[in-house]
Structures are given as C-alpha cells and as structure tokens.
C-alpha cells in the first residue's frame, strides 16, 4: 500500500511494531492465550513440527495459535513464498457453506490481482488445468483419470534481489527510497480514537518498554496487522461497544476466525514415491525472458463440492528429505574428520550433482556475480529441472534425496461466530491485554476433511499411485483422532459485509460507522477458500489504496474530548498500522525526520 499510495503522490507513515529484524523481545509480544483444543498436546506438537523449521524465535508454546513475525515485512520474513488466487466459487454464496458469499466478486478483483502478481514477480496467473495448454501439453494421464479432483497450481514469489530466496518485503522495502514515505519502527499501537463518526488518531507505546508513549493525529488510518492484531486493536479501542463506531457497536469484531485446517492424509514410500513426487512436482513456464515456477497439486472440483456438500479443499505433497546429506559428508572428508570414510565417499559419489549445485548456490549468492547473470542462471536451472530447484530451496543446499512423500489436505474452514479473538486478562510486557484465541474445527469440518481424504485416496488409486499408507485417523474414519493444524493463514476477524451486526468493514474495507478507518489483510475475508492468501491480501490492499486515492479524506470535526500530548507529525495523509511500537527518542527523531 505504501508503494501504491506513494506512486500516486500521497504521503504515508508506516507504523511498525517490530524492528528491521525479529528479536526474542519482539516475539514475546506475539504470545497469545488459547482455549479448547489449541491446548491439546498433539495439536501443539503438530504445529511445532510444521511451523518452527522456518522460524527464528517462534514456538507453539508462545504463539498457541497462528504464526506472526513482528518485523518490517511481516510474515514474509519467514514465509515460503507460495501463492495462488481464489477460485470463482470462493466468492459465491453456496447453500452448503454457511456464511459464504462476498459483497464483491472475482471479476472486481481481476485487475488488482494482476498488479499484485507484479509486486510478487509472478508469472501468468494460471492456477488450474489451463496451465497445461499454456505449456503446450495435454493434461497428464494420472490427472485425467481422476473424477473428484483436478489440477491446481501454486506459484512462488521469487526475490528480485536474492535469486536463491523468495520475496522478503521488508528487505526489499528498505532498499528503496519512496518519496513521501516515513517508517516508525518499534511503535505498538495501543488504541485508536474516533469522534463524530470519523477516526481522529491513535496512541503508540514503545515496543522496547520504558513507558514511552506518543499520540498521533490522523484523518485516515489503515490497520494492516493481521487477523489477530487487527481485532485486538479494535477491541482495545472499544469499537465493539455501543456508541463508539455505531449506535449498537460492532459485535462481529474478533468473530468468525478462520484458518486453513490441514491434515496428513498419508505417506507414499517405496516404488510409488517417484510417481507421486512427479504428480505433486514442479513445472516451469517461460514468459519472454522470465522463467516462473509452479507447484502442481490437486483441487476439489466445484461440482464435487456441491455434490458432496463440501467446502473447497486441495491436496499438496510435502517431501521428506534424506538425512544422508552429501554436503555434510563432503565437508567431513575435506576436513579429514570423517568417521566412516568409505560410507561418506559413497554418499558423495552418488550425489555428485548435489555437490555441483551447492557450488552453484555459493556462486549465485556471491556479490561479485552480476545480478543479470545470477537471474539468467537461476532461470535456466528452473527451466532444466524445477523439481531439483524446489528441493534445493527446501534443503538450503543440503540433501535432495527424497525418502518419502507426505500427502496433505488443506481445506476451507466454515465461518463460525464462536471461533474468535477476545481480550485476555493476561497482559503483555507493555501492559496491553493479550489476545485470547478460540479456534475449533467442529464436527462438520472434521467430517468434511475425512470425506475429502477418502475422495482423494480413490482418485490417487485411479491415477496409478501405489504405496500410499493412510494415517490411522483417515484409515479408520475417526474424526476425533484427526490432528489438524492451522497453516498460519488467519482470517475473518474483521469480515467484510453489508450489515454491521455481522460484519466489521464494508465493501471498501472501511470500518462501519468510522469514516477514514480502514482494514487491510485477510481479516476482512468473509470466506477463505483453500489457497494461500498472500496474493489475495495484496490485491485487496491495492484496491483499497486506489479507493483512498480516489476519495477525499473525511471532513474534520471539532474533536471535543480529545487531548493529545507528545504528538508525532509527519504530515502523512495515510497511516499504515503494521503491528505498531516506538523507538527510543534519538532513533524516533531520526526516523521521523
């Protein structure tokens, strides 16, 4: 949004709760309280196993729900770069999906999806079977044999600066000098102020402690802090109570929390592993001189969803890489520290290509190699063997030997007003009430996951995939034994709608009854589909930026009853609240100036 608004001549101040990098102190501010099944040891362990490998300080004990990164760039600090647009059916009102139906449609977002794809350096937005035609291929026989599922493709946002990595928005943002954009780091927003039906300002606390606080006058504020923090700030500000935002308040704040519940369907080993890895493999697509990489999975057909009264869902593969790492073996031999020389020599000889690619990775990360040459080499590698490149990224230059392929099923969660974010009595280091999260699947979603898993297993059999061993819960049809983890795709707590009684923002993402106060992010999604949400988040944010540019700020009122001290003034027209908090005085002066 800062990019888009600055390009249109707007002055912008971004308030960031973290710093330029994550720290344990910032991570402590992400801690949430949780109730219900989120305290189940099995679920907590599943979350720890899935999320922690990408994180520096995150733990399932502290963030008992969700994955938040309190630093400039937010979740792109640690994400895998995986994106896809929502399908047409995700915007539709479906009789079998309670709460479904957006006030806007896929067509309304089409131009913004294209602009969002450009921000993420993506290729053409081909996420269904049309991809095969674009590549000049027929649909593969295994997919053509399926009846319930069909091809689905995800893309990966590849960094324009570091060709061996995905997009890290904070790092990219710091390399640019955007006119009219100011960034405040270590500034946590404690509450927002409104008077006479419009937003008037906000209060910040120093994320570094010490009791520093500042007040900001603002005519337009955008909350862009994720589903947990967006709801938390609005609740701390009292917008749920009668008379603050609307005469009756906004009771939906914090409600309808959704994520993508994901379960392991089973594991493929042995002779069938290679065929399964090809089915859930990676494919390149050339567009001019640019090569883009797509991951192939399987999505439930719209007709199957309606026939079986199921929410949207998709299957993807997760590789289990061998612990026999040829890079480590090579290092032991080079340092004369191998305790099993012949074994290590065998590993190295059998994986000569891995050694060569590790040298290539070092070459691509060297500052002495021109960027255009790096990009050309990386694109060539994707074109020659996209699977190898994907495995290299997962292994960070280590082993790429695949021991097994796990098949995961990711599903749309039905919006439930009882799944919600509330304020806990426990306070964080800044004296603010922590978020308390209730996130339950419910028997309907659990049964849908089992039905989807059975349909998937049948389709994989039709496709000729052998060696699949279902998990015990799937094999036995035991909904209670399903261990479903969230995918860090929190959504829905400030949902979009027309009625303030069951929604928080209108179709333009403005908070009902509060002129000049907007919300960006997945928290405004009425439903969540199955796709990773970042591309949709960006498209919605760009659409909001255009709306702000086209709409004059709300007329100023008297602001009676408001008294501001220690004000910050950057003459910003728009404030983007990105999980806020303030620096020490000297650093604050430097950033503001």
Task: Say which range, 72-76, 117-121, 131-135, 581-585, has the weakest mean pLDDT.
Answer: 581-585
Sign, CA torsion 194/196/198/201? negative
Measured CA to CA in angstroms, residue 589 lies from 17, 381, 425, 570, 582 at distances of 17, 46, 34, 11, 11
Domain final position from 362, 379, 400: 400
Q: Is residue 421 part of a domain?
A: no
- Tell me the per-residue pLDDT of 479-507, one tens digit each, with 9 for 90 and over: 999 999 999 999 999 999 999 999 999 99
Q: Is residue 61 part of a domain?
A: yes
Domain final position from 400, 427, 459: 400
Nearest to 125 by CA among 99, 157, 93, 95: 157
Mean pLDDT for all residues in the chain: 86
- Tell me the per-residue pLDDT of 153-167, one tens digit each, with 9 for 90 and over: 999 998 888 877 899
Instruction: Band the pLDDT of 341: cuts 50, 70, 90.
Output: low
Measured CA to CA in angstroms, residue 442 lies from 220, 413, 446 at distances of 39, 10, 6
Residue 571 pLDDT greater than 70, yes or no: no
Q: What is the mean pLDDT of residues 45-72?
A: 92
User: What strands lie across the sheet with 221-223, from one edge to the other?
Assistant: 181-184, 12-16, 574-578, 221-223, 517-519
Q: Please give the full DSSP string across 319-376, using - where no structure is assigned.
A: EEE-S--HHHHHHHHHTT--SSHHHHHHHHHHTHHHHHHHHHHHHHT-TTS-HHHHHH
169 with 28, same domain: the answer is yes
- Tell me the per-residue pLDDT of 513-531, one tens digit each, with 9 for 90 and over: 999 999 999 999 999 999 9
370 with 506, same domain: the answer is no
Residue 408 pLDDT greater than 80, yes or no: yes
Q: What is the mean pLDDT of residues 248-271?
A: 95
Q: In angstroms, how far is CA 295 from the centroid of its own chain? A: 17
Q: Is residue 231 part of a domain?
A: yes
237 with 354, same domain: the answer is no
Of 317-321, 371-375, 460-464, give the range with the top mean pLDDT. 460-464
pLDDT above 90: percentage of residues in the chain: 67
374 with 506, same domain: the answer is no
Structure tokens at 520: 């960006």
Q: Is residue 377 part of a domain?
A: yes
Q: Is residue 310 part of a domain?
A: no
7 with 84, same domain: the answer is yes
188 with 81, same domain: the answer is yes
Instruction: Band the pLDDT of 585: cuts 50, 70, 90.
Output: very low
Residue 426 near residue 33, CB atoms below 8 Å: yes
Q: Is residue 194 part of a domain?
A: yes
Q: Is residue 441 part of a domain?
A: no
Q: What is the mean pLDDT of residues 306-310?
A: 97
Which position has the token pair 């404690």? 190
Q: 251: domain range?
A: 1-122+157-259+490-593
36 with 165, same domain: the answer is yes
pLDDT at residue 560, as a whole number:
36
391 with 514, same domain: the answer is no
CATH number at residue 162: 3.50.50.60
246 with 333, same domain: the answer is no
Q: Is residue 285 part of a domain?
A: no
Domain final position from 340, 369, 400: 400
Q: Measured over all CA atoms, what is the biggest interatomic distance in the chain, rounded to whole angstroms? A: 82
Residue 171 pLDDT greater than 50, yes or no: yes
Number of separate domains in the chain? 2
63 with 198, same domain: the answer is yes
- Tell me the per-residue pLDDT of 428-481, one tens digit each, with 9 for 90 and over: 999 999 999 999 999 999 999 999 999 999 999 999 999 999 999 999 999 999
363 with 250, same domain: the answer is no
51 with 192, same domain: the answer is yes
């Amino acid at each position: 949004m800062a990019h888009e608004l600055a390009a249109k001549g707007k002055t912008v101040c971004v308030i960031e709760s973290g710093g330029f990098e994550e720290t344990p102190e910032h991570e402590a501010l992400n801690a949430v309280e949780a109730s219900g099944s989120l305290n189940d040891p099995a679920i907590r362990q599943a979350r720890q196993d899935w999320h922690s490998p990408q994180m520096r300080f995150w733990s399932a004990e502290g963030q008992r729900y969700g994955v938040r990164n309190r630093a400039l760039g937010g979740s792109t600090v640690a994400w895998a770069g995986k994106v896809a647009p929502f399908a047409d059916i995700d915007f539709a009102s479906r009789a079998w999906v309670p709460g479904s139906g957006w006030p806007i449609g896929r067509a309304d977002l089409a131009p913004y999806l294209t602009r969002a794809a450009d921000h993420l350096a993506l290729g053409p937005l081909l996420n269904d079977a049309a991809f095969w035609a674009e590549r000049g291929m027929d649909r593969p026989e295994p997919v053509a044999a399926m009846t319930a599922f069909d091809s689905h493709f995800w893309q990966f946002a590849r960094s324009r600066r570091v060709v061996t990595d995905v997009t890290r928005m904070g790092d990219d943002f710091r390399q640019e000098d955007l006119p009219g954009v100011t960034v405040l780091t270590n500034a946590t927003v404690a509450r927002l102020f409104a008077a006479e039906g419009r937003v008037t300002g906000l209060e910040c606390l120093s994320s570094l402690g010490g009791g520093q606080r500042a007040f900001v006058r603002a005519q337009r504020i955008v909350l862009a802090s994720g589903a947990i923090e967006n709801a938390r700030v609005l609740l701390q500000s009292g917008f749920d109570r009668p008379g603050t935002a609307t005469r009756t308040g906004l009771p939906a704040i914090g409600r309808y929390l959704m994520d993508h519940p994901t379960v392991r369907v089973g594991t493929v080993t042995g002779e069938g592993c290679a065929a399964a890895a090809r089915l859930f493999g990676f494919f390149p697509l050339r567009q001019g001189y640019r090569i883009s990489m797509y991951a192939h999975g399987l999505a439930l057909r719209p007709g199957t969803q309606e026939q079986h009264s199921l929410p949207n869902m998709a299957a993807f593969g997760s590789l289990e890489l061998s612990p026999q790492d040829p890079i480590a073996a090579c290092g032991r031999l080079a340092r004369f520290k191998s305790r099993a020389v012949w074994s290590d020599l065998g590993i190295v000889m059998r994986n000569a290509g891995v050694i060569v690619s590790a040298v290539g990775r070092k070459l691509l990360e060297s500052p002495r190699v021109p960027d255009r040459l790096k990009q050309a080499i990386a694109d060539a590698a994707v074109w020659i063997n996209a699977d190898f490149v994907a495995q290299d990224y997962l292994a960070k230059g280590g082993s790429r030997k695949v021991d097994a392929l796990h098949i995961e099923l990711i599903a749309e969660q039905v919006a439930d007003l009882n799944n919600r974010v509330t304020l806990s009595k426990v306070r964080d280091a800044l004296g603010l009430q922590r978020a308390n999260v209730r996130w339950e699947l419910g028997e309907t979603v659990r049964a849908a996951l089992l039905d989807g898993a059975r349909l998937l297993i049948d389709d994989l059999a039709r496709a000729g995939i052998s060696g699949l061993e279902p998990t015990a819960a799937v094999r036995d049809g035991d909904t209670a034994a399903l261990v479903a983890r969230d995918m860090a795709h929190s959504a829905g707590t400030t949902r979009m709608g027309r009625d303030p009684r069951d929604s928080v923002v209108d179709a333009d993402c403005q908070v009902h009854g509060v002129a000049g106060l907007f919300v960006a992010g997945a928290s405004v999604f009425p439903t969540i589909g199955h796709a990773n949400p970042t591309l949709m988040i960006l498209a919605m944010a760009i659409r909001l930026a255009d709306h702000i540019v086209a709409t004059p700020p709300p007329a100023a009122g008297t602001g009676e009853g408001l008294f501001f001290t220690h004000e910050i003034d950057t003459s910003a027209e728009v404030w983007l609240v990105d999980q806020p908090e303030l620096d020490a005085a000297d650093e604050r002066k430097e950033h503001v100036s």
